[in-house]
Amino acid sequence: MNQVLIIVGDATETVDTLYPYYRLQEDGFEPVVAAPEKRRYPMVLHEVKPGWTITKEWEGYTIEADVAFRDVDPAAYLGIFFSGGRAPEYLRYDADLVRITRHFFEAGKPIASVCHGVEIPAYAGCLKGRRMATVPKCRFDLEVCGGIFVDEPCVVDGNLVSGRTYHDHGRYVGEWIRLLKEARAKAP
C-alpha cells in the first residue's frame, strides 16, 4: 500500500496542493489526485496582503485529477490530504467525498489538512473533540462541529495532522509523512 489521496476541486490552493504532492513523491509514495470528476482543475493562489483584511486570490497552476470521488475505494489508500483554497467549501457536500473522509477517520489512517481543508471533515462529522490548526477564519467551521482550534503551525492529534496555511507546510507535512511511513511499514 503506497497510494495517498490528495483532495482537490476548482479553486484549490496551489501551494497547499503542490507542496505535499511533491513531498509524497520524494518519500516514495504515489500521490493520487481525487476530485468530483476526472479532469483538469484550475488552482488559485491565496494571500492576505499587508493592510488587507480579506484574502486576495489570483490564478495559479492547474492539476489533473486521477480519479473521481465516486470511483474511489478508500480502503486502497494509505492516507489522505485535504488541501485548502475555496474548493473545500463546495466539495464538502459531495456524498462520495463524505464517504471517503469518514473511512479515513474511522480506520485511523494518516490524515492531513491545511487552511480551508478543515471544512470537509467538519461537514462529514469527523472532528468532535479533535484538536486542529486551520486558518483563523475557518475556526468557526471547526468549533461548530465540536473540534478544538489550536493556533499553531503543526497540530498532531493521533492520526490527524494539521497546519494553518501554506506558511506552515515546512512544519506539519513532515509529521504527516512520518505517520504515512509508519503506516506503510505496518501494511501487509
Residues facing residue 35 across a β-bridge: 68
CA dist., res. 8 & res. 33, Å (int) = 7
Provide the phi-psi class of 98: left if phi over 0, else alpha when psi is between -120 and 50, else beta: alpha
CA dist., res. 63 & res. 87, Å (int) = 13
Q: Which residues form the catalytic set? A: 116
**The three three-digit cell numbers of residue 92, written as one number:** 464538502
CA dist., res. 174 & res. 179, Å (int) = 9
